[in-house]
A and B are shown apart, each in its own frame.
Chain A
């Protein structure tokens, strides 16, 4: 664990509590995305509605955690790894909140598609597959955050490519559909929106992973090459 002993036990507890809240929020978002894609796959209308309605819970988490972050910074004036942790958390929370929005968006679009009683929905299994990867990445990112595991985080940044490739394959497939039968254009566009939302979840997972490397190693890896990033992640941590 990176967080070292502080003279103030209370400070440690506050930081721990904050991390717990971030992870709880992450758990909720993970569930929302998984459920949204699942419900879209099987056409579970009630579940989709539920996901849209639950989005405010994610937002409430974000507001609460941001407030707590600001409070700790003001009261404790933390330095080094603690400060990085707080700044990282406030960025991670933004990414998580966006992920939650994506879940609600998927649910909304899926509802629209089923409202029109489209009988044949193209690419549904591809989107499920892509969703599985996205949820797995988000899960791995949260695991890496819980363990403060920079190496695990670096692997996520690399894995995000798999989602991008999948998204491109789906796009190509949808274009073929639309060219074959112009009547499918409206549904294909909706599907494209859903695919894009799933793809964005992968990007947010990647952002979270980059923040974890920043928190634990103190290096900004947002715009560097993979090799450099992996070297930073494995680095001996003289900054930490």
Chain B
């Protein structure tokens, strides 16, 4: 039924009634009735229109104003308005929900994000950008980004439109970090500034470079000696036999050193796996240590006094790995103790935990070196160490073995007083 059917029907009824009154009574009463009826209808519509205007007016300022209710054609109109309003509200909620989700997603990003307008002014940033660049998301709105990120390299990067590579900034104040900043154009003329913390990557890069440089250096030194002698031989400079025998011995020694180094490197790369050792078994540690101390005595050549103290028993772990870790710690103690030094090797229980300990009264290590001792090729005293025949990898190997056995390496040392290297193992590995 169309909306005009109701009113039309009412007007028709009114006209018919007025006509009937006009015919049966008199004309004037008929006209009066018609006029009164029309006036009443008009008043009704005016009232409804007033309600609508009032509602429209209020709804501009207040949120949840009920749509007025009515019947008939006004009721239909109000119902349609009510439906529209509800849909609009739902749509608005959906919109703000997805906006909320978007900004939450931007917050969760591991990188800093700053939105910039055409004039490079800050429009919005996430909390990571606050951490990286010190931008306050609320107070710094509208501030040109170059006012807060002032590094000359960044200014040059902003000015250069044809840039490709991100700019790398080092924080001038702590926390020391290296940031990589890149600007990405988006939409019409906006820009997105992404800041990424590359401190860890840089560190790993430096370590890798250092390692390669160190390995090459360590391998080259013995090679230089060998090549030198071989050249001498080829040129026929060295002919007298006593020298020849000595050179031969030196070359052999250097070749052995290279072999040791390569062996240690291979051992290290095998240990680099974080997987626990595959061939774990019950190891007779007292017997193993007895053999190692015997070997230590041979290495020392009777110049040191080695003692062995056994209190703990068998142990569950990888026999080969433990052997190499313990042997490295014992031979270190021998190398860095002067003649006549005492070296105590202990396999004991401390607070119920199995502890392997090597204590010497040798030269000791200054405090600043201790945290770096287990780094590959780290030398406390560059001149001395290679003379003692170490590869510079022993402690690194020991540390890796201990990590794989869930043990902790503790180093106590004072220059001139001697050092104690202690491995504290978990109780569960005792058998």
Contacts from A to B (Cβ < 8 Å):
1, 16, 19-20, 23-24, 26-28, 30-31, 34, 132, 135-136, 139, 142-143, 146-147
Contacts and interface: CB of A to CB of B under 8 A. Distances in A.
B172 A31 contact: yes
Given A136-B174, A139-B173, A146-B143, 9 more contacts: A19-B147, A20-B144, A27-B150, A27-B152, A27-B154, A27-B155, A135-B172, A139-B172, A143-B148
Contacts of A20: 144, 146-147
Interface stretch (B8-16, B134-142, B211-219, B395-403): B134-142
B172 A23 contact: no
B148 A24 contact: no
A136 B172 CA distance: 8
Nearest to A13: B119
Given A23-B147, A27-B155, A1 B142 contact: yes
A181 to B, nearest CB: 21
A16 B172 contact: no
Nearest to A149: B139
Contact of B172 (A19, A30, A143, A147): A30
Nearest to B174: A132
Contacts of B139: 147
A146 B148 contact: yes
Contact of A142 (B150, B152, B174): B150
**Chain B interface helix/strand/loop/mixed:** loop
A233 to B, nearest CB: 16
8 contacts: A16-B144, A20-B146, A23-B147, A27-B155, A30-B150, A30-B172, A136-B173, A146-B148
Given A31-B151, A143-B134, A147-B139, A24 B146 contact: yes
A219 B174 CA distance: 33
Nearest to A136: B173
A196 to B, nearest CB: 21
Contacts, number: 44
A23 B142 contact: no
Interface of B: 134, 139-140, 142-144, 146-148, 150-152, 154-155, 172-174
Contacts of B148: 143, 146
A25 B83 CA distance: 61
Where chain A touches its partner, the secondary structure class is helix
A119 to B, nearest CB: 15
Contacts of A135: 172-173
A28 B172 contact: no
A28 B172 CA distance: 12
B152 A147 contact: no
Q: Count chain A CB atoms within 10 A of each CB in B140, B143, B144, B150 and give the residue with the most.
A: B150
Contacts of B140: 147
A27 B155 CA distance: 9
Nearest to A139: B173
B150 A24 contact: yes
A146 to B, nearest CB: 4
B172 A34 contact: yes
A196 B333 CA distance: 46
Nearest to B140: A147
B148 to A, nearest CB: 6
A221 B431 CA distance: 75
Given A24-B152, A28-B152, A147 B143 contact: yes
A27 B151 contact: yes
A78 to B, nearest CB: 20
Contacts of A23: 146-147, 150
Contacts of A147: 139-140, 143
A6 B139 CA distance: 22
Contacts of B147: 19-20, 23, 146
Max count, chain A CB within 10 A of own CB: residue among B134, B140, B147, B154 = B147
Contacts of B152: 24, 27-28, 31
A132 B150 contact: no
A67 B134 CA distance: 31
Contacts of B150: 23-24, 26-28, 30, 142
B274 to A, nearest CB: 34
Which 4 pairs between the two chains have the least Cβ-Cβ distance?
A27-B150, A146-B147, A34-B172, A136-B173
Contact of B155 (A16, A24, A143): A24
A20 B140 CA distance: 15
Contacts of A31: 151-152, 172
A115 to B, nearest CB: 24
Which among B139, B152, B155 has the greatest number of chain A C-beta atoms within 10 A?
A: B152
Q: Which of B143, B173, B174 is the most central at the interface, judged by chain A CB atoms within 10 Å of its CB?
A: B173
A24 B172 CA distance: 15
A53 B150 CA distance: 20
A143 B173 CA distance: 13
A24 B147 CA distance: 7
Given A26-B150, A31-B151, A132 B143 contact: no
A136 B152 CA distance: 17
A135 B134 CA distance: 15
B121 to A, nearest CB: 10
B175 to A, nearest CB: 11
A179 B148 CA distance: 46
A143 B172 CA distance: 14
Contacts of B146: 20, 23-24
A26 B149 CA distance: 11
Contacts of A19: 147
B1 to A, nearest CB: 60
Contacts of B154: 27
Contacts of A139: 172-173
A150 to B, nearest CB: 14
Nearest to B152: A28
Given A147-B140, A147-B143, A132 B151 contact: no
In this complex, the member of B134, B146, B172, B174 whose beta carbon has the largest number of chain A beta carbons within 10 angstroms is B172
B342 to A, nearest CB: 33
